[in-house]
Structure 1
C-alpha cells in the first residue's frame, strides 16, 4: 500500500479488531506458477499474544497455493466508500476513498486432521452462536468429519503487517463532520470508524 504516515495503523490491537469485525479474507500466494488468490473466512486466535488467524482451504486450493511452503499475504478489508469532494469546502475538488485495510504476512502452519476439525467446529460455532436455530458440527460428527476431509486447516502467525486507517484525518473538523454525516446515510459502519479516529494523530483512535 502507498506509504501515507497520516493513515498508518500501527497498533496490533487495532489490527486484531479489524480482523474480528471483518472476517472474510483474501489469501494471495506467490507460487512457482504465479500469483494465486482465494477467499476464506478467518477467525482470530484470541489465545495467542501475536496476531494469529485460523482458517481453512478447500481442496485443491491448498495445492494451488503451495500452502505451507512460503509466505502468504492475507488482505483484510474493513468498511470503505467513495468520498465526494462535494462534501468538502469551496475550492477543494479532489475526491477520495476512505477505507480500513490490513495486509498480514506470514507462513501458514498446516493443521492435522483432528486440529482441523476442532478449528472448523470453532469457526462454525463462532458464526452460528448468535443466530436463531444455529447449528454445530457436533450435531452430526460422522457426517461433518467426512466433509472436513475436503479441507485443509491452517494457523497463520502474523510476522508483520501493513495497515491503513484512511478516514479523512487530513480534513478540518467541520469538513470531517460533514463527510461523516453524508457517509452515515448509506454506510454507518464507515461513519462509526470515522467517529473513533482523532484528526491529526496518524490514525490513532479515540
Structure 2
C-alpha cells in the first residue's frame, strides 16, 4: 500500500479487531506459475497480544496452486470502505477520496494435519453458528463431516509482519469530519453506516 504515515495502523490489537470483524480474506501467492488469489474465511487463534495467528482452510487443489508452505503469502483483510464526496467538504475543495480500513498480513502458511484441519473446520463452523438460535455443529454428523473435510486442507499463518491503514479523514478538521460521518450515517447518497462507525472510533465526538 502507498506509504501514508498519518494513516498507518501499527496496533496489533486493532488489526486483530479488523480480522475478527471482517473474516472474509483474500489469499495471494506469487508462485512459479504466477500470481494466484483465493478467498476464504479466517479466524484468529488465541495468542499473546502482539502475536497474530490465523487459521483457515482451502479447498483442494488450492493448496497446490498456491504452493502453500513453500514461500511467503499475503492475506488481505478489508474492513468498511467507501467514497467520500467533496460535497461534504468546505466550498472550493473539489478532490474526492476513498476512506478504508485495510490490513496486509504476511507470513508462510503451515499445512495442518488432517486431525487439526478437522478441528479448525469445527471451530470455523462454531464461530459463525454461535449467533444462530439453534447452532449447527459438525459433531451432529462426525462421519459425514470428516468425509467432506477430506476435500479441504487446513492452514495456519503466524503473521510475520503486517502493513495496515486506517484512512478515515484524519487530515480533515472536526467540522468536516462531522459532516462526513453524518452523510455516511443518514445521507441519501453513499450511505455507509459501517464506515461511519469506524470513523467515530478515531474521531470521538
TM range (shorter): over 0.9
- Counterpart among 182, 191, 195 of residue 190 in structure 1: 195
Counterpart-to-counterpart distance in 1, 2:192 and 2:108: 34
- Paired position in structure 1 for 2:21: 21
- Paired position in structure 1 for 2:100: 99
Counterpart-to-counterpart distance in 2, 1:80 and 1:132: 30
Q: Runs (4+) of structure 1 moved beyond 4 Å? A: none
**Aligned pair count?**
200
Shift of 1:48: 4.9
Counterpart-to-counterpart distance in 1, 2:48 and 2:179: 40
Shift of 1:112: 0.1
In the alignment, structure 2 segments of 5+ residues that lack a partner are none
Counterpart-to-counterpart distance in 1, 2:107 and 2:24: 17
Q: Structure 2-normalised TM-score?
A: 0.95
CA-to-aligned-CA distance 1:161-183 (integer Å, 9 cap, x gap): 00000000000000000001001
CA-to-aligned-CA distance 1:68-91 (integer Å, 9 cap, x gap): 111000000000000000000011
Q: Structure 1-normalised TM-score?
A: 0.95
RMSD: 1.2
- Paired position in structure 1 for 2:6: 6
Shift of 1:189: 1.1
